[in-house]
Structure 1
Amino acid sequence: MFFRVKTPLAIAIATSIFSTTAMAKSEILQTNKGTISDIGDWMQIVIPASAMAGSLAIGDTEGAWQLVQVLGTSATITHSLKFVYAKARPDGPKRNSFPSGHTSAAFAGAAYLHHRYGDAWAIPAYGAAAFVGFSRVYANRHFMDDVMAGGAISVLTSLYFTDPYKQSDLMLAPSMTKDGFALNADYVYGRGKKKRAGYSNVRDTKEYNNSYSLFIGSSFTNKNVLDDGYHPSFDLYDFERENVLNTYAASQFTFDMGDNQYMNLSFTPYESRTITNHNQDVDFSGHHYQAGQETVTAYSVWNSTADYMFELLPDSNWKADIGLGVSLSWVTMRMDYTEGNNLSEESHFSFAPAMATEFGYQFNDNLSANMGYRYSASSSVSSQDLWSSIDYKFSNRWSASIVAGRFDQQVESKHFNNDLSLYYTGFNVKYAF
């Protein structure tokens, strides 16, 4: 009797232990579920739904139709790009990470509220949408460029479809009563003559000197060599998921400063995950990784730049701009066994002065070609970015470009060294304001 009881009990305990071990997963690959993630899941629905309900409540059926167009178009673009890039999510192999659908939906509603009803809605609407984006990164469901691209796609889509709300003297709004529905009428003489500055208005002829642009494309790693300053280096290019197609996205604001001068502000978050079985031992940040053990790495470099540019040939078809600026770079590297329990991490933040040049030629009112080069360096980091583009201007508001370039960055510090080189290509959409 004792043997019969003990054997099943031992088997159950052993099964439980081995099942737990099998299910164990590195912190790098874990999905962080909880209140923040749950709120983000709900807010992606609540924001556009509230925008729709608000428009219908005040009888703005034209605005409601514009919101439908914004949601439909941004969702189509977002999910088409998911299919094209098939980027693996940070918490697993599912290949639909880029761009973030949650963030796209949230910003579609927020941007519509802003562009339709004015600046008073901007802070609360964008704040709620930004929380959705934060929740996706926090939950380890998306990379930063997924979230940035998803939000920017919806904002640009709203700028195209949404017109400012023009109130009429007579306004009709439906409402619910205990007996059914009622139609409320409100008349204010002269209300319809009030005008508010617009956003989309793709047909206007005004010249705009400020702009926002979103670049979306692919990157191809040439090398990504790392070491901790004490042990032999290793190249992430040789790892399983690093030598496949990866995304590359960037946001840039350009502000006119007058007197043929302007300022560029940009943000480029590049991230990758690799999973591989090493064919040799690897040491990094005080941790040892044995050959043959499945290992996961999480690499990221977030670059922010600010450049003050001068136009040398403002009245010519030729373009020759030069400028000075600064670069902020944050590089992180994490490594662990896929089953966990051997996590290492190193990071490096740097600040460096920079110089930038851009040359080009304007063939006609719509078509131009440009080439640019940017170099920054300090005692611990140096980087260079070389790119070329073919640009087409559709209107005074909208233009698009095909871009190809190469980015290199070297980091040298006491505990972390990194030599990154990659090529990128894609398209750029610009909105002038």
Structure 2
Amino acid sequence: MIKKLFFSSALAFSIQSLDAQDSIKIQPITSMSLLLEKDNSSNSKKFFQKDGVKMSIAPLILFSASAGTWGERKKIREMRNRYIPDFKVPYDNYLQYAPAATVYGLKLAGVKGRNNAGRATLSYATSLAIMGIIVNSVKYTAKVERPDGSSNNSFPSGHTSMAFTNATFLHKEYGLASPAYSIGGYAASTFTGIGRNLNNRHWISDVLAGAGIGILSTQLGYFFIDKIYKNKGDNLGLFAGFDGNGNPSFLSLKFGSALAINNFLKESELDDKKETGFEAGLEGAYFFSKNWGVGANFSFSSFPVKGIRFPLDDGYTTNFDVVTQSLGFLNVGIGPYYSYDFSDKWQMMLKTTFGHSSAANGKVFFKNEIFSDLPNNEFEVADYKPSNGFRWNSGVAFTYKLNPELGITAYADYTQTQSRITYKFNEILKADEEMNMDFNDASAKEKINYFSLGLRLTAYF
């Protein structure tokens, strides 16, 4: 049973405001008074406002997600193999460089960023050096086999590390000019990480760790170069008046548990009780005012199916098991969002979305020692194919804001859809005179209702 995840990948769009400066009010008093005022200002920072904490939040979340998915990475990859087993589009080889190319394109066009080209290049080179040392040290120490079996240097993902190093470079240089740059950079890096999974080159845990390394490397690169220059940017004065519109528009990465209300596959008698699955995906909304906006979500949910066991009556002493692959759904939806701030730190959000649910095909196996010449002692009995269908979803979320641009959100959603599931049995069984009455192709309409409870990493823009 899969109880935890992270996907794809993906991530923390405009993750943090790490470039904010703490201004010190200078008054015509003694130098000793100035020193004391500066020290008191530094010591009065709240925990989540400290530079080291802000620098670490996103990488720590991604490293934790990587560790949490390590034991389930093969099961998670199975979902890719069921949906798109033949996917091979190497766009990730090129998209990883897009954010860095954007930085230099903007500078050549004369668009002012955080730093001038020389200092930006020095910060970027330092970030790449840190990233390269970390990635290659871990790769050739851990020696994790790639999912396609091609080599033993899978963990962490170098492409994803490069992509997030470049995305954070773009965020550092131009995120203060417009959050669109940060969103675009992190979107490109997210799709790079997803591409490493889709192309079967990396496990999900490799991608999550690579994202964390990329973000951390650029943060450290800028930290060291800023110390050399003794300030936090060449052109920050240009953006002193920059501020968002104050509306709670956001992008978030979410994962959690999915709790089925009804027993799936009960019509086919392949399940004798419901089981807890998982949900993961991306969600975001654009708010036209402080309270109302339009949002969308893209998520994946999966539910294990409990097997059926019964004794054989033909002389074998072992049990006879029916094993069914988990149900998997890709979901998209769009609809109205409502937000209410209880305070500067706490926010509630309500939503209702309508959209589409696309289901994965699955297989049903007989498992017994008599099939010892087959992989896992399993004989494929049937394929099942759920139909696509209309889906609606409603939910509530509560966010604690770590700072004005980043929050941790607890959410609870209810989802309902219906699907007609068609079963196609093995031709060997249907051809057998004794069994063809029991193994004819069939279909059943299933009502699929579930609650999902989990957490979101929420980035505001």
What TM-score comes out, normalization by structure 2 length?
0.46
Give the number of the structure whose residues are more often strand, by fraction: 1
Give the number of the structure whose residues are more often helix, by fraction: 2
What TM-score comes out, normalization by structure 1 length?
0.48
Of structures 1 and 2, the one scoring higher in RCO (CA 8 A, sep 6+) is 2
